[in-house]
Structures are given as structure tokens and as C-alpha cells.
Structure 1
Amino acid sequence: MKEQIAQWLARDPDPVTRKELQDLIDTGNETELAERFSGRLAFGTAGLRGIVGAGPNRMNRLVIQETATGLGQYLQDTVDLATQQGVVIGYDGRPDSKRFAHDAAAVLTAQGIKVYLTVTVAPTPLVAYGVTALKAAAGIVVTASHNPPAYNGFKVYWGNGAQIIPPHDKGIAAKIDKAATQPLTLMDLQEAEHQGLLVWLDDEFYSDYRDTVQQSALLQNHTQPETVSIAYTAMHGVGAEMAEALLADAGFTQVFSVAAQREPDGSFPTVNFPNPEEPGAMDMVIAEAQKHQATLACANDPDADRFAVAVRTEEGDYKMLTGDQVGVLLGHYLLTRVNPEESLVGTTIVSSSLLQKVATAVDAAYYQTLTGFKWLTNVAMQKQSDSNRFLFAYEEALGYTVGNMVWDKDGLSAMLAFAQLTAELAARGRTVWDQLEAIYREHGLYLNAQVSIALSPDSPPIGDSLRQQPPEEIAGRNVIRVDDLKTSRRQYADGTVESIDLPASDVLIYFLEDESRVVVRPSGTEPKLKCYYEVVEMIDQVDTLEHAAQRAQSSMDELIRRHQNSLTGMTAD
């Protein structure tokens, strides 16, 4: 390891991380050194993400330069016109993001690859948009999204504007490993600009995205927007300026930003965890909403690719919608804006099944993918056609995309669509809660939950155990179908077997006789089992939503308790 550390010190261009590493050496911190040099950050379909610091197992300038070198070489080997098409690069407001983005640009231009670099921070959706708008070969966003302050990341888009999927992830990773053993070449950015290899994406680029959203056929519903008031937070991220502009363009005049969270600040001083899903993260925007009696309390995560919302209730307080509830409301609404029989909508295998029910009722095409927006968008591109145009996709973790402007999560256009949905309802004397109840009454109340279960470290692979002894019933409910994504086989209770058209993944999905569903996904990196549960409660005409929700929750509680008990022999004490 000493030789490895010495080589790293000799290559590291950053005096800050060189000093950090030298201090670890001088203090004899063998444990920390071993952890940082036990391997390198794995490059996968989400690119890189990790804690900022010295060493190959951290995010730092050397890792960025090696990664960009590998990416550039892979692009030139794979894409015929990669050097001319170029790479779009943007970055968020974390302390190292601009430096990392500039390093990536310096590496790629040194390889003769044209780079389009944002002049300042940019929401992640703008970079995804820029890849297709500029017909680039790839895109890079330096961001750790909603991770804690210590993190940063390097996210890669392919030329289609979507996140990379296999085999590109492995191909790039192999090139990165090779680059880590070779001298690195960088070009001064002024020289790159002089040679025509560097193009700065200035206000015109940001305005182009704004204009595209403004002109989107799906976002033309201007029904009394001035009647809806919106409290908003960028959560110390980079979304505020664009979010406010898009809402203003659409006629929303009552928008109140949380001042303390409006400007980019990578230390996230007012939130413990800058993820709208985390307890307490929405407190300040809800307080702002209460101050103005706003209709909605909206949030983007720090890179503005996710959207979260709390909605004012009849009692005057605010209640968060789940990602599934927002997804179904948006999907249902957008299907009324188009001819549904010519539309395509999608979700992931762990998201609610309710959107499929809604789509089927209006003869819209529906598709389902593995977890992750990279699948939702790449599969959408494959499945769409002239007769089934892509309309909308979402995943339960607050990710939504409206139309084909951005082939990734876009929390900005999703917020605008939700605001327009709310305004249309208000013009008819209805609320978001009224609309959700109407959907539940038509299709059933779908309740979803996720539970992670710790396993004994020495337990055999739980997926294999479940396959050897497949349950015939779960929580007293007969299993009528099992989808095994590892074997790509779907088996019904009567023995009928079908193939599944999804990439192989260690996931088991149990469909129960009462329309409940259990998804079991063993973690590939730690002794943990992720279980996703869904129950469906029908509501008759004389039933109240409150009573139906209570029944659904009781059913959910029993399903979770009994299913987890059935796994007792496999879980840790």
C-alpha cells in the first residue's frame, strides 16, 4: 500500500488533498489509509458518487481527471463523431463542483473533444436537456443530488439524453481503470476556448430550456394560475432561479421562496439531510406556506431533479403527498391533456400499480421497468412510436418527467405541471385532495410502503432461499403469480409460465389474490433485504375515504408484520 500511496501523492494535482493524505501518513492512521486505498470508487450506471477526500476511494480532482479521461477515450472508441459532437458539462452548488467540472472539461478538450460548459451552476435537468438540444455525444453533471454535504458525484448521460445503461457503464469503467495507470493530459480552458474546443453555455442556454418548457404542449394549461399560491424552497440547491422563472412565465403570481434556503450552499446549513423525503427537510417551506396560507408547499432537491409537495388541507394544515400520489395525480392529469389512446406512460416495479390501472381505463399504453430513471427513459425511447407517443413516467422516490423535453427526472417542469393541475382544479372548485379521492373511488385506494430488513451476516443468499421454498401464501393471502426477474420467469398458481422482458435482476415479485403485492429485493452490497408492499382497498359509494384509508392501513400493517415474521429465520436478531 505504501507504494500505491506514494504514486497517488505524485499524481494528485490538488494541494488540499495531498496535505490531507500526508497528514494521515504522518499520524499513522492506518485504518483510514486502508479504507481510502482498499479500492476505487466504482463507476456504474449512476456514474460516481462518494465522500470528498484524498485517495482513490473518494471524490477528488485526481479521481475526476482519471474518470473524465476514461470517459473521453470510451466515447472516441464508441461514437464516430464524438469529438465534434462534444460533451455538455454542468455542476451544482457544492464546494468542489465547479473545480471538478472544469477539470473534466480540461481533460476532454485535451483529447480534442468539444466541451459545452455551463458558466455557472445548473440544475441537473438542464444538462440532460442540453445533451439532446445540442446533439452532444454525452453529458456530465457534477452533483451529489440530495446526499449529505460531505458527498459529491459525477453523473453521465449518453447521447440520447438519458443516463447511461449497460454496456456503457462497464465499458467506461474499464477505460477509467486504464487511465488510472497512465499520465494524464489537461488543456488550459482559455487555450481550449481559443482553439474552439470550449463553448461556454451562458444565459442563452438557460433561456433556451426555459423557452422550451414554456412552449411545451403539455404545459399550456393557464387556467387561473393567479388564484393558486405556492411556497417554494430550493433546499440550498440550484433550482430557485429557474423554478421561479417558469412559474412566473405560466402566470403564477403568488410564489413565495424560502429566503434562507434560496441560494446555493453546499453546506446545507438549515437541513440535516437535503432530501425532501427526510423528516424535517420540508419544515421551512411548510412554515412559509402557513405564513401566506399558500395552496402548495413545493420543494426541489438540491440539483432540482426531484419534486416534493405538501398540500393545504381543509383544516388549514399541510400534508405531504407521497411520490406515488404525485405520480398518479400527474399521470391522470396529463392523460386528459392528450389523446390517451396515442400515449405511453410508465413506472418502475416498486412504484404503485395505480397508474397502470388509470392508463388501462383510458386505453393508454403502459410500461414497467426496473428501479431507476435510467430504465424509465431508455425503455420509453424503445417503446414509443407514432401511435404511442411518450407522455409521462415516474418513480416513487419523487422522480418525474413530463413529455420528452428531458429524458431524466425533471423536478422543475414537474412542479409546473402540478401547479397547473392544482389551478385547473381550483377553477372548478376542487382541491388536490378531492381529485385524489376521485381517483381512489374509481380505481381503488392503493397504499404503498417500504421496509428494509437486516439479515444475519452469515445467512445464505436470501433470494436463493426464497426460490427454493416459494411461498404459496403470504399473510393468509394466496400467491397467484410470482415474477422472478433473476430467471426472467413469470409463474402463475396453475403452473403456467411466461417469460419477462426485463433485464435480469435479483428481484422477486409476489402478486396476491386480493390485489396486494410484495416485492423482495436483496441488497447486493450488504446483508439487507428491501421489501416493497402494496395493498388495494376498494371504496363503495357510501364509504368514506377516511374509513377506507384506515382499512388499507390495517391491511398494510398486517401484511408487513406477517411477511416479516415469515422471514424470521433469515433475519438478524
Structure 2
Amino acid sequence: MIEELYQRWLNHPHIDPQLKKELAGMSEKEKQDAFYTNIEFGTAGMRGLLGAGTNRINIHTIRKANEGFARYIVGCGEEAMRRGVAIGYDNRHMSSEFARESAAVLASHGITSYVFETLRPTPELSFAVRNLNCFGGIMITASHNPREYNGYKLYDETGCQLVPDLAQQVIDQVNAVEDELAIDPQLTSAQQELIHMIGKDVDEAYYENVLSIQLNPDVNRDLVEIVFSPEHGTANIPVREVFTRAGYHFTPVEEQCTPDPDFSCTKTPNPEEKGAYELALKLAEEKKADIILVCDPDADRMGVGVLHEGEYVLLSGNQSGSVLIEYILSQLQAKGQMPQNPVMFNTIVTSDLGEKIASKYGVETEKTLTGFKFIGEKVAKYEKTQAKNYVFGYEESYGSLIKPFVRDKDAPQACLMLAEAACFYKAQGKTLVDVLNGLYAELGYYKESQTSLTLKGQEGALRIKEILDTLRKDKPAQIGGTAVVAIEDYQEATREENGVIAALEGFSRSNVLKYYLADGSWIAIRPSGTEPKCKFYYCIKGASAQDAEAKTEIMQKAIADLVA
């Protein structure tokens, strides 16, 4: 079967010449990995390695995805086709080409598209969908993944990534496409006219909205020096533009401001990893900067470094999220701007600290599955019912949303608000780490961390499934010497506590297990939706920071032994 597929691709008349060259040089092992399956088009779209084959991101698998999306739109009627699709892309290899191919496939079905003239952030694509009254959106990006990756994400008419029910309708259409190599859109002049280029008008509308989030626009900006890096990605222009217009003092890491698909001047484009901060830290030390802000390539995630007691402290996504919650909610309350029935959203793998901060200000917290689309879905729901009013949303994975004119994580918003918070607290003689330590002292000490097992290829996927299946079958009574008091299984939609199994409601089914421990800690396990990894999340509660740290080491070792 694999050899048959390989030969069909190698000898097909429509095969891209570069891919044909790659195919001709493949080893047997490379053939196996490139053709053993079709690249998964899941509820988060597609993300994978660039290259030739059915299990790769390439011009043909992109065309197949768009063929399925086009059929879905056509099925929704003429108005959906007329309103069309906004298309954005980042700095990665083949991103602009994939964006153009997406527009061409849509046009071949009579569907209008609005394609950004150059690379733009994911949050601006989400904004553009609503700003242009489109029926949907496409973003070509692999977010924070290494340079070998690219991806394809779909958005609905609210600017939110497709939630599972809608995504499944598109998936069914994609899976019905029999031959991706046969898709080769040759457009008529009338079809060409369905493709529109967009740029500065949408930029200006987006910048205006980002600047509107300021809570203290008169804060003393002279107090704080900022070092900023877009990690070669799409945050470069929007963050610098917003900072300039708002009057902040910042120095960009110029070596990382070029839109380089090879990420030549960074060890990693992922703000979750220390390697992303190396050049920024060096520049910050030279400039004696107060804070470092680092964005991932598609500008939906923001990492933070803070100068505290002479050293730079890198905050986790949970920690920077907690500081933002404290600042935003405290200022809304102080100014009398807290709305009625306020609600904050985060995910089932996000720290408990944020919920405790929200509760302090009378704000309800609602949990969702991992994936900001679920937060976007809730925003849209309450926008219609007006039963609750959004004040903040965030994930542990360095993504947050201040105001929901965007329906995805928005790093330019987060950068602007964190800069404002840094100035506000420095006027009080505090760093952002001081603020965080104050929250720990007030609400309890939490140590959040994440480990993962990278398991590539077909064997890796089977091993990840085996790990979760085994844990479901052989439920641990204790982890690291601490009793497990409850287990939530999001695939089975159950919560087991004291031997009683109850329905777990309000969530789509997902392959996630979460263990609640007797000391108030929890551990969650899930396969990554975007990388060949099994992820383990820890929210460990301690009597002190040192205690939480020590307990975390014990728990991580226990989990490693459990899944070995």
C-alpha cells in the first residue's frame, strides 16, 4: 500500500516538481513515515512536517484541505460563498504559497477570499473575519513549532477556530476528497476577480482596537524599559506599532525582526522554552530593561522576563496570566468598571491560582478543554445571551485575550497590557515578580510545570494511545505518595470520586485524564494536538514556594515511572 501510494505520487502528472525531486531521493524509512497515513485534519485543522507525502504538509494536502472547506461553504449557500473567507499567513516556508493556493481552490468553487498582502498575526486574521463580515477564515501557520513545520487553521464567522461540531462537518468533506493530486485549480478571469488583497485598512482597525484595551492610558511610561522580540515572526510590526503609538520605551531585538522561515537567530521560536530568550536577555542586560516580551511566530503567544533583584526571571504562562488577571480585575474594580456577572475563562490544564484571583474580585471562572476555540465559543455564546460579561481569558500555554474583538489568543494585546501593568506597579516600587509573590502569599503557593514524552511516527502514536488506555484501565490510587481523591476522564465524560462515578458535563469528549490529589494538587495527561507528544501538566500546591518545588520533583518522577 505504501509503495503503491509512493509510486502514484512520484509519477503523477500534477505532482509539484520540488516534491517530485524530494520523492525521488527518499529512503525506505522516509517513505514509510511520509505515506503510512494521511496527515490528520482534526478539530484544530492540520499541522505537520513540510514535505512530500500524504502524511506531510505540502501544496497537495493543502489543496485537499481547501477542497473540503470549499465544499462545506458551498453547502452553506450563496450568501456564505459571497461573504467568503479571510486568509492570513506567517513567516514559515511555503506559507504565502499555501495562502495563494487556498484562495485559488476557493475561487474555483465561486467563493470570495480576502488575502493579506504580506504576513500577519493569527489574532489579526481572527479580527479580519469579523471586520470584513466573512463567513470564515484560514490561517497558514504552525504557531510555535520548529521551522520544519507548517499548518492550516480554520475559523468560523465569529473569528473563532472551528469548534468540534463544525470542524467535523469540514473533516467529513475533506475525507471525501479521493485524490488530492487531481486538484489543480486553473482559474478563469471571473474566478480570479473573487480574490481580493487586504492590508492597511484592516491593520488600522486592528491597531485602534488593540489600543482601546488600555486601563490607565496616562500611566508613566518613562518608568519602564522594554526589550521585545518577535522571534522572526508576525508580531514585529504590530507590537512595535502599538508600543510606538502608546508611547512606550522599547528596544527590539533587531536580529530577530526579519521574517526568517529558518529562525536563524533563535534556538527556538517557542516562548515556552528558555532558548527563545537568549538574545533578548543579552540585550536586556545591556539596556538594563525592566521587562522582556517575546512572541511566537504567529503572535498569539507571549513570553515574559522580569528584572527582579538584579536578575531576569522568566514567567510561565500561568504566572504571566495571573499577573494580568490581578492587574485587570483590580483596575476594573477600582475604577468602578467591573461589569455585572463578570466571567473569566481558562482551561482544565490551567493553574488554580488564576481562579482564586478571579474569585477575590467576584469574577466567576469557567473551564474549557485545551484549545482557545473553546474559550472563543463561550465568548460568542455570552455575547448572544448577555447572561455573563467577559473580562479575561487565558491558557497556560502563554496565550491570553484581553478584549474579545479577537476570538483567539492575542499577543499584541497581551504585550500592551503587560507593559502598562509593569509601569503601574513600578510606580509603587514593585516588579511584576513582587506582584506574583504577593498573590502566592495571599492565596497559596502553586508550582505549575509541564513535562512531555516525544514519540514520533506510527509507533509513537500507538505508544501514546497505549499510555492513556493503560492509565484508564489501571487507575492509580496514589501518585508520589499522595492519595488520588478524584479522577476526571474527558474521553469517557466521567468524574470518579469516593468510588462514585458521575457524568462530567459541559465538555466535548477529549482524550484527557486529570487526577486530583489529597493535598489540593492535580496532574493532567493528554496527547498533544499539534506535536508528536504525550503531555503531563502539574499544578502542585505547597505550604511554601520551596515545598511546592520539592513536591513537584516527586510528582514528576512518579509520573515518569508510571508511564515508563
TM-score by length of 1: 0.89
Larger RCO of the pair (alpha carbons < 8 Å, separation 6+): 2
Shift of residue 470, structure 1, vs aligned partner: 3.7
- 1:214 aligned partner: 211
Alignment of 1:110-509 (within 5 A): 110-181=108-179, 183-184=182-183, 186-188=185-187, 192=191, 195=193, 197-216=194-213, 218-219=214-215, 221-252=217-248, 254-315=249-310, 317-336=311-330, 337=332, 338-339=337-338, 341-383=340-382, 385-452=385-452, 461-493=466-498, 495=500, 497=502, 499-509=504-514
- 1:545 aligned partner: none
Distance 1:508 1:7, change over 3 A: closer
> Is the Cα–Cα contact under 8 Å of residues 343 and 391 in structure 1 kept in the other structure?
yes
Shift of residue 314, structure 1, vs aligned partner: 1.6
Equivalent position to 1:10, from 4, 9, 12: 12
Shift of residue 499, structure 1, vs aligned partner: 3.6
Shift of residue 157, structure 1, vs aligned partner: 1.0
Distance 1:524 1:334, change over 3 A: closer
Distance 1:342 1:527, change over 3 A: closer
Separation (CA, whole Å) in 1 of partners of 2:88 and 2:189: 18
Shift of residue 220, structure 1, vs aligned partner: 5.1
> Is the Cα–Cα contact under 8 Å of residues 109 and 187 in structure 1 kept in the other structure?
no
Shift of residue 463, structure 1, vs aligned partner: 4.2
- The question of 1:72 aligning with 2:95 is answered no
Segment of structure 1 superposing worse, 76-85 or 317-326? 76-85
Separation (CA, whole Å) in 1 of partners of 2:49 and 2:454: 24
Separation (CA, whole Å) in 2 of partners of 1:236 and 1:77: 39
**Where do 5+ consecutive residues of structure 1 fail to align?**
539-547
> Is the Cα–Cα contact under 8 Å of residues 365 and 388 in structure 1 kept in the other structure?
no
SS of equivalent residue, structure 2 residue 429 = coil
SS of equivalent residue, structure 1 residue 367 = strand
Separation (CA, whole Å) in 1 of partners of 2:422 and 2:529: 41
SS of equivalent residue, structure 2 residue 357 = helix
Separation (CA, whole Å) in 1 of partners of 2:29 and 2:438: 58
Distance 1:241 1:517, change over 3 A: same
Shift of residue 413, structure 1, vs aligned partner: 0.7
Separation (CA, whole Å) in 2 of partners of 1:120 and 1:73: 27
Separation (CA, whole Å) in 1 of partners of 2:530 and 2:86: 32
Separation (CA, whole Å) in 1 of partners of 2:464 and 2:404: 45
- The question of 1:512 aligning with 2:510 is answered no
Separation (CA, whole Å) in 2 of partners of 1:460 and 1:122: 36
Separation (CA, whole Å) in 2 of partners of 1:483 and 1:241: 43
SS of equivalent residue, structure 1 residue 532 = strand
Q: Residues 391-414 of structure 1, C-alpha deviation per residue, up to 9 Å, x if partnerless?
A: 211111111111212111111111
Separation (CA, whole Å) in 2 of partners of 1:81 and 1:485: 37
Shift of residue 526, structure 1, vs aligned partner: 11
Separation (CA, whole Å) in 1 of partners of 2:464 and 2:345: 36
SS of equivalent residue, structure 2 residue 176 = helix
Separation (CA, whole Å) in 1 of partners of 2:438 and 2:188: 56
Q: Residues 192-234 of structure 1, C-alpha deviation per residue, up to 9 Å, x if partnerless?
A: 45x3x12211211111111111223x55543112321100111
Q: Residues 235-274 of structure 1, C-alpha deviation per residue, up to 9 Å, x if partnerless?
A: 111211110111112221x210011111100011112322
Distance 1:529 1:32, change over 3 A: closer
Shift of residue 2, structure 1, vs aligned partner: 5.8
Distance 1:523 1:226, change over 3 A: closer
> Is the Cα–Cα contact under 8 Å of residues 234 and 299 in structure 2 kept in the other structure?
yes
Percent identical residues: 32
Segment of structure 1 superposing worse, 448-457 or 51-60? 448-457
Segment of structure 1 superposing worse, 271-280 or 9-18? 9-18
SS of equivalent residue, structure 1 residue 509 = strand
TM-score by length of 2: 0.90
Separation (CA, whole Å) in 2 of partners of 1:494 and 1:335: 39
- 1:542 aligned partner: none
Aligned Cα RMSD in Å?
A: 2.7
Shift of residue 308, structure 1, vs aligned partner: 0.4
Separation (CA, whole Å) in 2 of partners of 1:454 and 1:134: 40
Q: Amino acid of the residue matched to residue 30 of structure 2?
A: E
Distance 1:214 1:190, change over 3 A: farther
Shift of residue 445, structure 1, vs aligned partner: 1.5
> Is the Cα–Cα contact under 8 Å of residues 280 and 292 in structure 2 kept in the other structure?
yes
Separation (CA, whole Å) in 2 of partners of 1:450 and 1:164: 26
